[in-house]
Structure 1
Amino acid sequence: MSPDVTSEKRALRAELRERRRTITAAERAASTQSVTANLIELTSGLGVKSIAAYLSTPDEPSTREFLHWACDSGIRVLLPISREDGLLDWAPYDGTDEDEDLLGMPTPTTEVLGPIAINSVDLIVVPAASVDRTGMRMGWGRGYFDKTLGSMERCPPVYAVIFDNEFVDSVPSEVHDQKVNGVVTPSGITALPSTQPNSAA
């Protein structure tokens, strides 16, 4: 791991976190409405019957309204639960109760299915700090999603949810970082030139 790249990522993540914290309530409400509509459009257009996604935290572009729509629409939703070994377990989400995992991230309270449950989904929706126009995703530094995507033999489309100003020309990357197939932002859905995310490793 290059110290220069690591430092660059750390500084960029700090800048992005601060930028997210300064978004006004009105801007956040507008982005939630737009992101929800775009996620519904993406999911409907792909005709998916099951998705792996995540419950957004207050500073992230909101996925919660979309996930409630998915549950109400009969789409099977799996959400991640962080493990101490760096892998993700998955559990079904019913749009109601939630808990916190070992990292303090919101998780469902249903039966834990284990890491391989994600292999059955039609679409993966992931968080990101930033994504560039080649599809390279920069996460928040824990590596859970990179490890998950890199281990999948047959990966469905993967879309990251970010704010518009986080979709950039390039991001610092390392060999383990995984690409995504597209991004969903408040302004729209953008398919990217990457093929399978795990082809970027």
Structure 2
Amino acid sequence: MMKKRYLGIVCLITACALLCCGCGDKGTAILIGETKESADVPAEGEQEASRASGQAGTAAQSAASGETASEARDTTIRVYVCGAVANPGVVEIPQGSRVEDALEAAGGFGAEAGREAVNLADWVSDGQKLYFPKEGEAVEESQAQSDSASGLVNINTADAAALCTLPGIGESRARDIISYREANGGFQACEDIMKVSGIKTAAYEKIKDKITVK
């Protein structure tokens, strides 16, 4: 009887010793119902912090991208280039560009371009239309602008409406002036207008200070 009681006490002490040794390593303990992988998952608070950090980084990248796009829009302009150029159309060039830059973006002059008609050193602005005339158009346009600036009517290039602004010149006389210059290659001097039927010295005196043949 004593022997059995002794054996029971020894078993109890051994069981307690084994139990104490198993509880000593708390660092590697895994709760019942979870795996090693789930034990490594960050706590909910840590996950929220990580998501917030990621969203902040994405927002910062989007803002930087938006600023870059805005800066690009602010530093470029769009200009409509047409007429005697290689590739007419809307071109995009840097802000602060000149006409020559817009021309280059449109492929350069066309074969029939009047190359001296447009001031290539002039500045251009956003939304501007640049027309490059052909060679024949260039001469006429340049001359018309010069005559308009001087306030004189060029009897070699003026149309009927412009000729009718001269004192004593009506539609019929304007047609006569145009017919004469077409038949004779133009007027060499202002006085030659008196060679037109119906225009004599008295009529010439009224208009001589208002006409030119340049």
Q: Which has the higher contact order (CA 8 A, sep 6+)?
A: 1
Q: Which has the higher strand share?
A: 1
Larger radius of gyration: 2
Q: Which has the higher helix share?
A: 2
Asked if Structure 1 and Structure 2 have the same fold, meaning a TM-score greater than 0.5 normalized by the shorter chain, the answer is no
